[in-house]
Amino acid sequence: MKALICYNQNEFKLEEIDRPEIQKDEMLIEMIYTSLCGSDIIKILDPEVKKPAVFGHEVVGRVVKVGKNITRFNLGDVVVAAHHIPCYRCHYCLHGNHSMCRHFKETNIYPGSFCQYIRLSKEHIRYTTFKIPPDSNLLEALFVEPLACCIRAVDRVTFRKDDIFSVVGTGVIGMLFIQLIKLSGGRVVAIELDNDRLSMARFLGADCTINPSNQNIAREIKNITDIGVDIAYSP
C-alpha cells in the first residue's frame, strides 16, 4: 500500500509499505479521508519524535477486513476512529483527565492515517470506533475527533446562559469552540491576529472579535463586561 513517510520536517516520500495484517480481534480500514491536525505538525517539527514515521490520526474509512471475533462491524461499514485510548483505571483517568493517562499517550492507530490502510486494535474497536450513517457527509465526519475534544472541554466547565467565553486563537479548533459555545447558550469573544479568521469567527456567531495587533484586549473586554470573561479557552 502507499504511505506518506516523514523522514524529517523537510522530507516526505510517498512509498510502498506492507499492508497491516490483522488478528481475530482487529479490523483493517481503507482510508477515505484524513486531515492534518495541529498535533501532527508539532510531531513533524519536534526532533525528539522518532522518524521515519507515518503520521495522521483523523480517520474516515471503510471496513475492508474484519477479524473473526468482531461482531459490531461489518465489511463495507464507514467508520470514524480516534487514535488514543485511556486505560480508565489510573489516577488521571479516575479524575477525568484521560488525556494525561500514560496508556492514552502510548496507544495509536497503525501505522497512521496518512496511508491507504490502517489497522484498528481490539481496544480501538471497543472504545473509539463509530459507524457513520450511510447518507452522512464524509468530509464533515472528519470533524468527529477534533469536535469531540471541544465538546469535552465545554462539558467540563459549569456556566450559565449568557456567560462570556473568550476563545484565543480561531483556527479550526477555535472555530469549533465558537459554534459549540453559541449552541450551549454562551457569549463569545474571539481573539485572533488574522482578520480573515475574525470575519469567519463573526460569521460563525462570535459576539465580539478582538485583533490584538491593533486593539487592547483588556480594554475591549471591559467594554462588554466589568468582571472579565467567565471562561477562557486557548485552543
Point out which residues bind Zn ion (CB under 5 A).
37, 86-87, 90, 93, 101
Burial 130-154 (b: 16+ CB within 10 A, else e): eebeeeeeeeebbbbbbbeebeebb
Q: Which of 235, 231, 234 shows the shortest CA–CA distance to 188?
A: 231
**In contact, 201 and 168? CB cutoff 8 Å:** no
- Closest approach, Cβ 53 to Zn ion, in A, equals 15
**In contact, 191 and 207? CB cutoff 8 Å:** no
- Closest approach, Cβ 86 to Zn ion, in A, equals 5
- Closest approach, Cβ 218 to Zn ion, in A, equals 32
Residue placing its CB nearer to Zn ion in the complex, 106 or 155: 106
Residue placing its CB nearer to Zn ion in the complex, 127 or 159: 127
Q: How buried is 177 (Cβ within 10 angstroms: 0-12 exposed, 13-18 middle, 19+ buried)?
A: buried
Q: What are phi and psi of 4, to 5 degrees?
A: -90, 110
- Closest approach, Cβ 201 to Zn ion, in A, equals 21
**In contact, 110 and 155? CB cutoff 8 Å:** no
Residue placing its CB nearer to Zn ion in the complex, 87 or 147: 87
Residue placing its CB nearer to Zn ion in the complex, 101 or 198: 101
Residue placing its CB nearer to Zn ion in the complex, 44 or 64: 44
- DSSP letters spanning 159-225: --TT-EEEEE--SHHHHHHHHHHHHTT-EEEEE-S-HHHHHHHHHTT-SEEE-TTTS-HHHHHHHH-
Task: Supply 135's cell numbers.
Answer: 447518507
Q: Give 53's DSSP letter.
A: B
- Closest approach, Cβ 46 to Zn ion, in A, equals 15
- Closest approach, Cβ 217 to Zn ion, in A, equals 27
Residue placing its CB nearer to Zn ion in the complex, 7 or 88: 88
